[in-house]
Amino acid sequence: MKKTTTRLADGRELIYYDSRDDVVRDAVDRRPLEPVATESELRADRLLGDTVAVASHRQGRTYHPPADECPLCPSREGRLSEIPDGDYEVVVFENRFPSLTGDAGRCEVVCFTPDHDASFADLSPASARLVLDAWTDRTRELGQLPGVEQVFPFENRGEEIGVTLGHPHGQIYAYPFTTPRTALMLRSLAEHRERTGGRNLFDDVLADERADGSRIVVTGEHWTAFVPYAAHWPYEVHLYPNRRVPDLLGLDEDARAEFPLVYLDLLRRFDRIFGEDQPRTPYISGWHQAPFNAPDRRDFALHLELFTIRRTSGKLKFLAGSESGMGAFINDVPPESAALRLREVAGK
């Protein structure tokens, strides 16, 4: 993998990731941009003990531009974009409208492909592997920034999810705190260790799912994908490496090589859940990694969570009173039924 770092016209960092060492990236951002002036504020919720980011500048972010004005497509004569080059493989750059800034963290955009009409599921295994390598590199680099506690690479796909740019892309958030979801997992991890005389919760969850088998979707030599026993979302899959590691940096070459095959298989199954008349299922996919300064970070298990808010053909799962108001989820689809459906829609 070749990595080329440059700066956009307003000073933001941009990084090209290429599979070939002989690629030259010397295009210059010729847009007349003013230096970025954004500011976000972190506020502690004294009742819940969590943190809220206030970022009013995001009200002005780009919203559903036409395809010929997409800011994530390569630049061409007469239409300059966020990517100065006329082509690329994978690109990462600082978000122009970040939720987290300065001491409050950092937000980056990851463009998976120059093809505006594609999706992650359309990538070749080699291209998906390059994205994995970019996620890993950014986890390493962002983890070295002062104050960064946790790195979260994720993808939102589909207008139903709230995506405002149709080009296939994801984001990376570098938080200056441990997120509430991770804090709950760390608490459960510690309680399980105490209750069982030292057993690891993640290891036991994975072993139990593999032994039961009813919620398994895909198994590989190095990865296992399953619908969790208490899934929150109608179709939700967790993907674990079979050898526990705390973050993307811990994956060995065998796991890295197999990941694209398993992950692309999962995404393509998601696109078949609701039939040919509703392809490209809206989803959120994200990597859960151990906080860098957690005392028991080596006991944490890297895993990816993939879920859709679509509960059946033409119907969405809205977070109503119980979910939004109290954080108590009600799932419309039994996890075993979801797993069965995902097994049924395996590619030919």
CA dihedral sign, ordered 196, 197, 201, 206? negative
For residue 138, report the phi and psi dihedrals to the nearest 5 degrees: -70, -35
Phi, psi of 150 (to 5 degrees): -150, 140
In terms of Cα–Cα distance, which of 159, 169, 83 is closest to 119? 169
User: What is the pLDDT at residue 161?
Assistant: 92
**The pLDDT of residue 177:** 96
Q: What is the CA radius of gyration of the chain?
A: 20
Q: What is the pLDDT of residue 61?
A: 67
Question: Given this model, what pLDDT does residue 238 score?
Answer: 98
Domains of the chain: 2-175 (3.30.428.10), 197-344 (3.30.428.10)
Q: Which residues are 174's β-sheet partners?
A: 106, 151
For helices 125-143 and 253-270, the axis angle rounded to 10 degrees is: 120
Could you state, in chain order, the average pLDDT of each consecutive group of 10 residues for the chain (348 residues)?
Answer: 97 97 96 84 92 81 78 95 97 94 92 97 98 98 96 96 93 97 97 98 98 98 98 98 98 98 98 89 97 95 97 92 94 97 89
User: DSSP secondary structure string, 64-77?
Assistant: S--GGG-TTSBPBT
Is 73 known to sit in a ligand binding site? yes
> What residues have CB less than 8 Å from 46, skipping those under 6 apart?
none
SS3 125: helix
Element (DSSP H or E) covering residue 341: helix 335-344
Q: What is the pLDDT of residue 112?
A: 98
Strands 13-18 and 90-94: antiparallel
The confidence score (pLDDT) of residue 95 equals 95
Say what the pLDDT of residue 341 is. 97
Burial class (CB in 10 A: 0-12, 13-18, 19+), 52: exposed
Candidate list 64, 169, 222, 232, residue with the active-site label: 169
> In the 8-state DSSP scheme, what is residue 62?
-
Q: How far apart are CA 334 and CA 186, in angstroms?
A: 26
**Is 167 known as a binding-site position?**
yes
Q: Does 116 appear as a known binding residue?
A: yes
Q: Is 288 a catalytic residue?
A: no
232 among the known binding-site residues? Answer: no
Cα gap 193→108, rounded to integer Å? 35
* DSSP H helical ranges for 108-196: 125-143, 180-195
